Amino acid sequence: MTPNSKIFAIVFVAAVLLFIWSCVRRFSLVTIGKPEDRFDNFPARIRDTFLYAFCQKRVLQKPFGINHFVLFWSFMVLLLANIEFVLKGLHHSLSFMLLPAFIHNPIYFLFDLFSLFALVCVIVAGVRRVVAPPYPEAITLDAYVILSMIALLMIAYFNLHGVELAVGEISALMPISAWVGRTFYAGIDLESAHSFINFWWWLHAIVFLVFLNYLPYSKHMHILSSIPNCYFRRFGKANTLPTETFVKGAKFGVETVDQYTWKDLFDSYSCTECGRCQMVCPASNTGKPLNPRKVIHDLKVNLLANGPIIKEGGKPTLPLIGNNGEGSITEDEIWSCTTCGACMEVCPVFIEQMPKILQLRRYLVEMKATFPEELLNLFENMEQRSNPWGIAPTERTKWCSQLNVKPFDASCEYLLYVGCAGAFDSRNKQVTVALAHILDAAGVSYGILGKEELCCGDSLRRLGNEFVFDRMARENVKLFKEKGVKKIITLCPHCFSTLANDYRQYGFEGEVVHHADLIDSLIKQGRLKLKKKVDAGRVVFHDSCYLGRHNDIYESPRSVISQATGKAPIEMDRNRAESFCCGAGGGRMWKEEHLGTRINLERVGEALTKNPDTICVTCPYCMTMFDDGLKDKNADKVMVKDIAEVVAEALQ
């Protein structure tokens, strides 16, 4: 039996119109954003939508993801059930019953089964939020409203079909509904059966339509937006921000929501509030005000508040940057990011939190010239002497005063780009010397730029000082071209990433290799012969964010350590793509850590749980952060070594 089709038709059309109106109103706000091309790469986009949206590859990386996976597929199947429900409500004959029994029986069976799955999943999710919430703020009324609505839908579904089956109104293979029918409605008379059917039918219909209209206003908006968000994911490096054109009258960075791209704004609608990003964020984990989930949430709130005004040509009323509560992002949050990329690595729907933060930095530095005090020195030093410490460029060759390292010329295969830390920092100079020995032992043809070498500008770019970075990048690329540089070895993942990725934007086409990859291939090709196995005790390896997450180099440093010591390194609990930042990236190296606890202490503490004798790194910043951290933890018996130093020992 079906209820009053006419009334339902009116209610249904009204609800659907309201839903469409809500969606158009909300989603059209993203059109105030700037253009960005995310329509290329069609086959790869389809593949990734399948993998990440439909197969939920990232969701499943966490154990609890299975619950979401099952719920997601229950929704997919029950979407069909609900379409049938609506059609049948509009006209009683429109149902799968029209199909032959061998088709409609399995369909009804699946509907029944997946309704049970969905019910179990929402109960599990509800209980989880009470017993072990992913993060404390996850217990929201919004979440419970949604979970209850889904549960109610399933209960109504079972009851509706239970009664129908019990009184023989329908006959289908629906074991759970049948059980409900047997248990609660056995032997009831036809009249009360009809009122029950009426009740459950309308309850189902109303909850369904309310749910539909609640979606665009809740965090479950992601049900609508996360699949397209996966489709429009970024394929290039998120860390390589777009360049800027420095002409008078232009604006730089992001001050108001409309200065983001449409995709940035769409991101904010796609957040599932799963909290995975905040659980891996080094800033959130050490008591700093930054929380990447909150940044995305604030962006959404700001867009909803200002979007309609901006669309009408008005001025935004809620500042995006500042101390204005929900919808605003404070300067302390903006400066806390280490650009480690952990948030983007885990986000199941490919939201890019970090570049949004860096755009805010650009605005602060370039338009307002406001930034933490310590950075003034850094900026001046970079502009005046092209290194963070402001040391005279003539000192760039001091590390090799005892060595026979030749200046780069056209006869060299490689340019050894020493980098500022490798040239000026006393501890890291030892790494440079070790690498020089390795290159000599392997007979690699290389030279250095010496006092002509300029800083790569990594810190400037990550700190939002794009104007000066732009100048430095141009100078460097020009220098490389003039000198005929084709291949570059770097000692620092930050130089590596900047030269290999960011400088592509400036027309540098050469090959860039980090010493981890180079040493690994030299050993494997038999060009570098290790004379002994180094006894470095228990060796723990720390992945640098800029080598690992930002450039997917995970195996070569491990392989180098294995070959030099004869043993695979011991893994930290958080390793490879899940590695935890040392705290120095994103220009944080040059800033005091006033807020919360220190990130390097957290990571050093984690390393110490493995009882290491040596901690191996591949990055000068990590070196400094671990060195400092070990001293503070009174663990200076533990050595921090770059992999190059371990290999150099194996040559003796």
Partner 1 sequence: MLVVACIKQVPDTTQVKIDPVTNTLVREGIPFIMNPFDTHALEEALRLKDRFGVRVAAVSMGPPNAEMTLRKALSLGADEVVLLSDRAFGGADTLATSMVLAEAVKRLAEKDELALVICGKQTIDGDTAQVGPGIAMRLNLVPLTLVDRIVDLDLAAKTIVVSRKLEARHEIVQSKLPALLTVVREINKPRYPSVPMRLEAQDLPVQLWDNKVMNLDVNKIGLKGSPTAVRKIFSPEREQGEIIGDGMKDPEGTAKLLVEKLVQKELLAL
CB of 523 to partner 1, least distance (A): 32
Binding to partner 1 by residue 252, rule CB under 8 A?
Answer: yes
Q: Are 177 and 161 in contact (CB under 8 A)?
A: yes
CA–centroid distance for 128 within its chain: 24
- Interaction partner, residue 384 (partner 1, ligand SF4, none; CB < 5-8 Å by kind): partner 1
Q: Which amino acid is at 140?
A: T
Note whether 390 binds partner 1 by CB under 8 A. yes
Among 328, 467, 598, 610, binds partner 1 (CB under 8 A): 467
Rounded Cα–Cα distance for residues 199 and 205 (Å):
10
Stretch of 139-147, 292-300, 316-324, 612-620 contacting ligand SF4, by CB under 6 A: 292-300
What is the smallest separation between the CB atom of 313 and ligand SF4, expressed in angstroms? 31
For helices 101-131 and 65-90, what crossing angle results, to 10°?
130
Residue 282 sits in the site that holds ligand SF4 (CB under 6 A): yes
Does residue 273 touch ligand SF4 according to CB under 6 A?
Answer: yes
The 3-state DSSP composition of the chain as helix, strand, coil percent (nearest 5) reads 60, 5, 35
Q: Strands 639-642 and 614-617, how do they pair?
A: parallel
Report if residue 367 touches partner 1, rule: CB under 8 A.
yes
- Residue 246 touches partner 1, criterion: CB under 8 A: yes
> And the tokens for 542?
């720390």
Q: Does residue 307 come out as left (phi exceeding 0), alpha (psi in the -120 to 50 range) or beta?
A: alpha
Could you say whether residue 450 binds partner 1 (CB under 8 A)?
Answer: no
User: Is the Cβ of residue 556 or residue 579 nearer to ligand SF4 in the bound state?
Assistant: 579
Contact status: 65 vs ligand SF4 (CB under 6 A): no
Instruction: In whole angstroms, give the CA distance from residue 455 to residue 393.
Output: 10
Taking CB under 8 A as the rule, does residue 402 contact partner 1? no
CA end-to-end distance (rounded Å), the chain: 88
CB of 130 to partner 1, least distance (A): 51
Is 366 a binding residue for partner 1 by CB under 8 A? The answer is: yes
User: Per DSSP, what are the bridge partners of residue 570?
Assistant: 540
Q: How far is the CB of 82 from ligand SF4 (least distance, A)?
A: 25
d(CA 232, CA 49): 9
What DSSP designation does 199 have?
H
- Alpha carbon distance 360, 366 (integer Å): 10
Nearer to ligand SF4, 446 or 546 (CB): 546
Q: How far is the CB of 600 from ligand SF4 (least distance, A)?
A: 13
Tell whether residue 622 is a contact of ligand SF4 (CB under 6 A): no
Residue 385 is a binding residue for partner 1 (CB under 8 A): yes
Examine residue 379 and tell whether it contacts partner 1 (CB under 8 A): yes
User: Contact between 539 and ligand SF4 (CB under 6 A)?
Assistant: no
Q: For partner 1, which is the closer residue by CB, 371 or 446?
A: 371
Residue 292 makes contact with ligand SF4 by CB under 6 A: yes
Which alpha helices (DSSP H) does 554-610 contain, by range?
A: 555-565, 599-608
Q: Which does 248 bind (CB under 5 to 8 A by kind): ligand SF4, partner 1, none?
A: partner 1
The reply on whether position 635 binds partner 1 by CB under 8 A is no
Please state, in angstroms and rounded to a whole number, the distance separating the CA atoms of residues 125 and 608. 35
CB of 354 closer than 8 Å to CB of 464? no
Does residue number 384 form part of the binding site for partner 1 (CB under 8 A)? yes
The answer to the question of residue 338 lying near ligand SF4 (CB under 6 A) is: yes
> At residue 144, what are phi and psi to the nearest 5 degrees?
-70, -35
Only one of the segments 140-148, 281-289, 412-420, 462-470 lies at the binding site for ligand SF4 (rule: CB under 6 A); that segment is 281-289
Among the listed ranges 177-185, 247-255, 330-338, 551-559, the one in contact with partner 1 (CB under 8 A) is 247-255
Do residues 493 and 514 make contact, with C-beta atoms less than 8 angstroms apart? yes
- Distances in Å between the alpha carbon of 239 and those of 233, 252, 342? 14, 17, 12
User: What's the longest Cα–Cα distance across the chain?
Assistant: 102
Dist. CA 575–CA 554, nearest whole Å: 9
Residue 367 binding: pick among ligand SF4, partner 1, none (C-beta 5-8 Å cut-off by kind):
partner 1
Q: Which stretches of the chain bind ligand SF4, using CB under 6 A? A: 271-277, 280-283, 290, 292-293, 296, 337-343, 346-349, 351, 353-354
